């Protein structure tokens, strides 16, 4: 009986997704599992195995985010000229060399080309436009957060598994396994339907309506740029903080990451429902509030009674990305949606790219400092979200 109720609940939860979105969900899930085998452990691997300091780690992540900032616009052009499905597949193919390059590196200075490739984000506009064009209007925010939760669910077990494999067989074994999952994620996308952008009048010829929509997009893009700056300021240093402050090992750090991504999956769906019912402003404020509280608790104690709920709550820090995509997609007309989505993603990443380097310098002063700054920033932005028009 309990199993039947659970299955009925899952069926109801996934009811907004058609066949194509379910396949996209599965592709994200598989790819995220592979990525999660090493992504959460990467900062400690770069430091402990490749000789990087906190500022060096911040610099590498800044390079990655700079690449993420510059690739959505070319990705949008590719999606318009070719086809969204093909761009999404290409994005996974471009990631295939990353695990090999990481395993071949002997010093952190060799990782700049690797982090550039890891930061390639040409699929962002295509994926967002594909979801927005397929999703039901009354379930748009839930659909975006549900698709985003597929990444989080994929990450739930993989950091812990990756930590165990790294502890027993080394990180090179982890990197080889990642490649298999990247290939599977790309293969699943071959089975979704093709989708091309809808041609229509240029936004410049849409008069006052276009000006109003541009102002809304610009305002929301600026807001989310600040959100991502605060988020990226501290994110690469959570694993190193756990190692430095609480003497966590690879397995324990991986387990912490798994709990965080479980929280991301659960809270992402909850926040998506809040967005559809009460508006995206409330959903955004809620995600930022959860993030601020979790970062405060992180610094208090290594006790599992505190860290387990803290790591679950920290999962909400992954919600702003799908919320941004849902918000921008709801403002933009379909015929130019890909342009505005790409612009918002590029500008948000551009504002955030220097954040890891700043966070690394703050961490060098005090391991608590990036998290303290992020708590203050998240609190201010949560209040600002609620008062936005």
In a domain, 41, yes or no: yes
Flag whether pLDDT at 344 surpasses 80.
no
pLDDT in tens, 36-93: 899 888 988 998 899 998 889 989 988 888 888 888 878 777 777 778 888 899 999 9
CB 250 within 8 A of CB 41: yes
Res 203: pLDDT: 44
In a domain, 26, yes or no: yes
CATH number at residue 343: 1.20.1250.20
Give 48: exposed, middle or buried? Use CB within 10 Å, 0-12, 13-18, 19+.
middle
Mean pLDDT of 358-379: 93
Res 288: pLDDT: 94
Res 209: pLDDT: 54
Rounded to whole angstroms, how far apart are CA atoms 237 and 260? 14
Range of the domain at 112: 16-190+208-387
Res 376: pLDDT: 95
Token pair, residue 202, equals 């240029």
Mean pLDDT of 202-218: 60
CB 102 within 8 A of CB 66: no
In a domain, 125, yes or no: yes
In a domain, 155, yes or no: yes
Token pair, residue 161, equals 């598994």
In a domain, 251, yes or no: yes
Mean pLDDT of 176-200: 85
CB 372 within 8 A of CB 297: no
In a domain, 11, yes or no: no
Query: Which of 266, 372, 380, 251 is CA-nearest to residue 313?
Result: 266
CB 143 within 8 A of CB 135: yes
**DSSP per-residue string spanning 304-342:** HHHHHHHHHHHGGGGSHHHHHHHHHHHHS-GGGHHHHHH
> What's 193's DSSP letter?
P
Selection from 121-135, 153-167, 210-224 with the highest mean pLDDT:
153-167
Please, which residues have CB within 8 angstroms of residue 62's CB and are 6 or more apart in sequence? 353, 354, 355, 356, 357
Phi and psi at 368, nearest 5°, equal -80, -20
Selection from 112-116, 139-143, 159-163, 350-354 with the highest mean pLDDT:
112-116
pLDDT mean across residues, the chain: 83
In a domain, 42, yes or no: yes
Query: Which of 335, 42, 367, 45 is CA-nearest to residue 205?
Result: 335
CB 302 within 8 A of CB 334: no
Res 206: pLDDT: 43
Res 285: pLDDT: 93
Res 93: pLDDT: 93
Q: How many domains does the chain have?
A: 1
Flag whether pLDDT at 334 surpasses 70.
no
Mean pLDDT of 143-171: 84
pLDDT in tens, 120-146: 888 877 887 788 778 777 777 778 878
In a domain, 3, yes or no: no
């Amino acid at each position: 009986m309990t199993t039947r109720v659970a299955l009925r609940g899952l069926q109801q939860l996934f009811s907004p997704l058609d066949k194509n979105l379910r396949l996209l969900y599965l592709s994200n899930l598989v790819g995220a599992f592979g990525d999660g085998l090493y992504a959460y452990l990467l900062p400690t691997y770069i430091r402990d195995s490749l000789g990087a300091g906190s500022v060096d780690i911040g610099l590498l992540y800044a390079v990655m985010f700079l690449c993420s900032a510059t690739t959505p616009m070319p990705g949008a052009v590719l999606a318009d000229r070719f086809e969204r499905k093909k761009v999404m597949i290409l994005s996974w193919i471009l990631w295939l060399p990353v695990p090999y390059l990481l395993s071949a590196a002997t010093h952190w200075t060799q990782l700049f080309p690797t982090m550039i490739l890891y930061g390639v984000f040409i699929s962002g506009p295509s994926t967002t436009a594909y979801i927005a064009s397929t999703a039901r209007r009354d379930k748009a925010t839930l659909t975006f957060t549900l698709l985003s939760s597929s990444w989080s669910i994929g990450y739930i077990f993989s950091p812990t598994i990756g930590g165990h494999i790294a502890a027993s067989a080394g990180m090179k074994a982890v990197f080889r396994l990642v490649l298999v999952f990247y290939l599977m994620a790309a293969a699943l996308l071959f089975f979704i339907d093709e989708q091309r952008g809808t041609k229509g009048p240029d936004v410049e010829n849409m008069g006052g309506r276009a000006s109003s929509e541009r102002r809304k997009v610009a305002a929301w893009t600026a807001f989310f740029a600040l959100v991502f700056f605060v988020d990226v300021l501290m994110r690469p240093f959570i694993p190193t903080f756990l190692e430095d402050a609480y003497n966590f090992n690879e397995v324990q750090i991986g387990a912490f990451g798994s709990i965080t991504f479980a929280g991301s999956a659960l809270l992402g769906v909850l926040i998506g429902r809040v967005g559809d019912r009460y508006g995206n402003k409330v959903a955004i404020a809620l995600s930022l509030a959860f993030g601020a509280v979790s970062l405060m608790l992180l610094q208090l104690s290594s006790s599992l009674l505190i860290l387990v709920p803290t790591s679950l709550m920290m999962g909400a820090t992954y919600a702003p990305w799908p919320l941004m995509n849902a918000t921008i997609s709801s403002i933009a007309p379909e015929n130019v949606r890909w342009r505005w989505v790409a612009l918002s993603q590029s500008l948000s990443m551009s504002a955030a790219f220097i954040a890891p380097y700043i966070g690394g310098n703050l961490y060098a002063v005090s391991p608590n400092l990036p998290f303290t700054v992020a708590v203050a920033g998240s609190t201010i932005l949560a209040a600002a979200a609620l008062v936005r028009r």
